[in-house]
Structure 1
C-alpha cells in the first residue's frame, strides 16, 4: 500500500505542476502548439527563451524533490525502504509530467523530472550524492560538446541506470533483497520510458536532422 500511495503522490505532483504549460499560458500561448509539441524544458527554451527554459527546468526538477519530501514525512522516518519509496514517488512524478490527465496526457519527456529523482537521493548518506553530481556533469558536458540536448538527456539517464546498478552490486545502496530489485526495476522503467519519449529525437540524431542548441522552435 505504501508503494501505491507514493506513486499516486508523485503522479499528483507531476500532473498538477506542469511548469512549461503554465509558463506558456502566462504568455498567452499553449506551448504544446509550438516546436516539438511537448511541454518540456527544451521546447519552452526554444519558444520562449533561455529564462523561461531555466525556470521550467528548475521547477520540473524540484517537483520530484518535493514529492520525495512528502513521502519522507509520511513514511520515511521509520522505514528501511525509504529510498525505494522515493523512487516510487519519483516514477509517479515522471508519469504525471509525461502524461497529465488534464492536458489529455500530452506533457513533457520526463528528463528534468528524472533529474529531480536523482537529486532527491542526496538525502541519503554514503555515496548517493554521485547520482545528482555525476548526472549534472554528464548532461552538461555531453550537451555542450554535441550541442544536442536530446543526446545529453539520453546519456544522463543511461548512466544513471548503470551507476545505480553498480552501486547496488557494490552494496552502497540502503536497500537489500527484494526492495533493491524493485528499485532496479523502477530505474529500468524510467530509462526505457525516456528512450520511448525520445524515439523521434533518436531518429533525427541518426539522420543528422536533430536541432542543436540555439535553434528556434
Structure 2
C-alpha cells in the first residue's frame, strides 16, 4: 500500500510542470515551440538561459522533494519509499494529466532522484551516472546522448553496486521509460539529423 501512496504523492509533485509555468510567465507555449517538449532543453533553446536554468533546477527539486517526502512519511521503508516517490514524480512530469499526458522526458527529475540515492545509499551510482552522462553531453554536444547514457548507467549501476533488488527493478523500469521517451532522438542520431545543443535568444 505504501508504494501506491508514494507513487501518488510523487505524481502530484511531478505534475508541477516547471517548463509549462516558465513558458506561461514568458508568454510562450513551449508545447508549440521548438521541439514541443516540456523540459529543460527546449526551455533553454526557446526561452533562454535564465528560464532554462530555473526549469532545470525546478525539475531537479521535484525529484529531491518527492524522495524526501516519501521517505519521511514511511521511515521504516525510507529508501524504497523515496524511490517510489521519485518514480511517481517522473511519471507525473512525463505524463501530466492536465496537459493531455504530454510532458517532458524526466531527466532532470531523475538527476534529483540520483542525487538522493547517492547521498543515502550508493555514491558509486551517483558518480558513475553523473560523470558519464555529463561527460557524454559535453564531449558530443548532444544533450540526448548524455541523457541516454545517463539512463543506461543508472540501470547498470543499480545492479552492479548492489542496490536492493526491488529498487533496482524500479530503476531499470525508469531507465527503460527514459530510453523510450528518447526514441525520436535516437532515430535522429542514427540518421545524423540530431541538433547539437546551442543556446538561442528568447523568442
Q: Which residue of structure 1 aligns with residue 138 of structure 2?
A: 144
Q: Which residue of structure 1 aligns with residue 147 of structure 2?
A: 153
Task: Give, in whole Å, the separation in 1 of the partners of 2:54 and 2:129.
Answer: 19
Question: Secondary structure of the equivalent of 2:145?
Answer: helix
State the 1:114 CA deviation. Answer: 1.0
- The one of 107, 111, 122 equivalent to 2:107 is 111
Q: Which residue of structure 1 aligns with residue 35 of structure 2?
A: 36
Q: Which residue of structure 1 aligns with residue 50 of structure 2?
A: 51
Does residue 182 (structure 1) correspond to residue 181 (structure 2)? The answer is: no
Task: Give, in whole Å, the separation in 1 of the partners of 2:43 and 2:65.
Answer: 22
Q: Which residue of structure 2 aligns with residue 90 of structure 1?
A: 86
Unaligned runs of 5+ in 2: none
Task: Give, in whole Å, the separation in 1 of the partners of 2:168 and 2:124.
Answer: 17
Paired residues, what number? 201
State the 1:185 CA deviation. Answer: 1.7
State the 1:132 CA deviation. Answer: 2.8
- TM-score by structure 1 length? 0.88
Unaligned runs of 5+ in 1: 174-179
User: Where does structure 1 differ by over 4 angstroms across 4 or more consecutive aligned residues?
Assistant: none
State the 1:24 CA deviation. Answer: 0.4
- TM-score by structure 2 length? 0.94
Task: Give, in whole Å, the separation in 1 of the partners of 2:73 and 2:150.
Answer: 30
Cα deviation digits, residues 149-205 of structure 1 (max 9, x gap): 00000001101111111111xxxx4xxxxxx33212211111110111111000000
State the 1:122 CA deviation. Answer: 3.5
1:65-76 residue pairs with structure 2 within 5 A? Answer: 65-76=64-75
CA RMSD of aligned residues (A): 1.5
Cα deviation digits, residues 17-55 of structure 1 (max 9, x gap): 211000000001111111111110000001011222221
